[in-house]
Amino acid sequence: MPIKQSTPPEAKDLLDANPEGIYLDVRTEPEFEAGHPLRAINIPVAFPGAGGQMALNPDFVSVVEANIPKDAKIVCGCQVGGRSQMAADLMAQAGYSDLTNVRGGFGGLQDPATGEVIMGWQDEGYPVETGSTDENGYAALKSKM
């Protein structure tokens, strides 16, 4: 099944209509702790590596599988939509089928080709929280592997 694409308003509507749905924030732990959609969980798809390049989190799929059922409705988000698309691709390869990528993510984006601006979750004024807990933080989720 192809990965669906949505804007932050469409993602919010999807989650509002499906309370069991999961917003998977795949940004780094510091990004997540600085602010994330209400009820989001954090499993980073990549970490900053040498020279500032992002390096794939080798445990990403294993941590996802330990915490999220394969039949869950999952909305993947990051800062603008690139890392979340990569995460959704990895999850699709692992057998997840109900995946939506959020173009515009938490921070928004401007399409360089068209100039189209997509406001992010935060700029749309949707519910945001900071920090992490034993239920949504990466360390706690990774410990379930």
What is the CATH number for 129? Answer: 3.40.250.10
pLDDT in tens, the chain (145 residues): 689 999 999 999 999 999 999 999 999 999 999 999 999 999 999 999 888 899 999 999 999 999 999 999 999 999 999 999 999 999 999 999 999 999 999 999 998 889 999 999 999 999 999 999 999 999 999 999 8
Per-residue pLDDT, 1: 67
The pLDDT assigned to 54 comes to 92
Residue ranges making up the domain that contains 129:
4-142
Q: Look at residue 2 in the predicted model and tell me its pLDDT.
A: 87
The pLDDT score that the predictor gives to residue 101 is 98
Q: What is the C-alpha separation between 109 and 112, in angstroms, rounded?
A: 9
Pull the structure tokens for residue 138. 């990466």
Residue among 18, 34, 13 at smallest CA distance from 107:
34
State the burial class of residue 114 (Cβ atoms within 10 Å of its Cβ: 0-12, 13-18, 19+): exposed
Burial of 66 (0-12, 13-18, 19+ CB in 10 A): middle
Number of domains present in the structure of the chain: 1
